[in-house]
Structure 1
């Protein structure tokens, strides 16, 4: 799965009693405001309300901070995407729930901080362990497509292609809706979900 496909715009709220999460939130906010080149550990410490040395209790250096921010955001998105999804649900119910979760993530969270483009530019560890972590985070999505293909209901395409055809339209449409480029009614959402489902099922 290309987990980056589901990054839209969002604001992650962290318990302010947790210093590590305050540092992550501060980093996200500063990245949204100033970009990578304007980010410094001193700025992060000030924004998080911690001493500069405190950051190094949780992160080895700036790169490690950005690596962990990447994974933290990814975990947030994975949790949102699979909210109220169970492998015991019928395939279409699982698909519909995931599609709407993506839509809701884009349209209900206010005060967006980091956007998809900024997220995709975050440094990430490119190793076997990282790939396993990301695959584990989005395992429910892969299981949906794998089960659909195994029972002959879904087209025999790579899961990445199935995702592009069926789930990614939710984030694309949500962005246009939030920008006022298109008005999407509840009826249009239902029809769009059916169209996305039809795109990956055999007829």
Structure 2
């Protein structure tokens, strides 16, 4: 076990968590590196050791969040499920993840509403994320489980309902229990299934 590697990973994790917390409350512009360092319990120089700029930190954090989201959505134990059941599981997994980690939901929404999205995905009004989610939906189309709709439309329908459900729960407007989540995801499934 390499203690230095563990300490470096712990420091990066603390920096990421501090950034998520601050961005949720203050936004990107209201979260200076000095405050991130202070909240993370590291020296400002430590942040610049890992990230040359705040832009680099935010893009690295975005990549980190994407990995956590994919891991939460796509659980190996559910790979064997029939596609319709897996669709329900993936949707439910993501809602539950965002309810547990509202700071990640807030960060991702802010990231996609900022110029950073164009930096990561290229400019233009038709930014299509090629990721596990779009691959999963394309698989559903390819196997005739889902209507052959534009992947951007399918992703918007899927993600829009996920974020709306999670935000309503987080903000105390409605407690999404398992039954309510199944009812909500069935509306989406019924609208896109073949």
Bin for the TM-score computed over the shorter chain: 0.7 to 0.9
How big is the shift at 1:157?
Answer: 0.6
State the 1:168 CA deviation: 3.2
Counterpart check, 1:26 vs 2:26: no
Asked whether the equivalents of residues 33 and 54 of structure 2 are also in contact (C-alpha less than 8 Å), the reply is yes
Measure how far apart 1:183 and its partner are: 5.0
User: What TM-score comes out, normalization by structure 1 length?
Assistant: 0.72
Write the mapping of 1:26-65 to structure 2, written as runs, cut at 5 A.
26-65=18-57
Matched residue, 2:140: 148
Tell me how far apart the structure 2 counterparts of residues 127 and 190 of structure 1 sit (CA, whole Å): 32
Q: Is the 2:18–2:40 contact (alpha carbons within 8 Å) kept by the matching residues of 1? A: yes
Contact 1:45-1:51 at 8 Å conserved across structures:
yes
How far 1:68 moved relative to its partner? Answer: 1.1
Contact 2:88 2:182 in 1 (8 A): no
Matched, 1:120 2:112: yes
Structure 2 portions without partners, runs of 5+? 1-6, 123-128
What's the CA shift for 1:42?
A: 2.1
Q: CA 1:193–1:62 in 2, change beyond 3 Å: closer, same or farther? A: closer
- Encode CA deviations 1:52-97: one digit per residue, 9 max, x unaligned: 2222221112221122122222222222222346544311121011
Q: Structure 1: any 5+ residue segments left out of the alignment? A: 1-14, 129-133
**Counterpart for residue 3 of structure 1:** none
Q: How many residues align?
A: 178
RMSD, matched Cα: 2.8
What does residue range 114-193 of structure 1 map to in structure 2 within 5 Å? 115=106, 116-121=108-113, 123-124=116-117, 125-126=119-120, 135=130, 138-139=131-132, 141-166=133-158, 168-182=160-174, 184=176, 186-193=178-185
Give the TM-score taking structure 2 as reference length. 0.74
SS of 2:120's equivalent in the other structure is: coil
TM-aligned CA distance change 1:195 to 1:37, over 3 Å: closer
- How is 1:75-94 mapped onto 2 (pairs within 5 angstroms)? 75-84=67-76, 86-94=78-86
**Residue 156 of structure 1: how far off its partner (Å):** 1.0
Between the two structures, name the one with larger relative contact order (CA 8 Å, sep ≥ 6): 1
Q: Would you tell me which structure has more helix in proportion to its own residues? A: 2
Structure 2: distance between partners of 1:41 and 1:183? 36
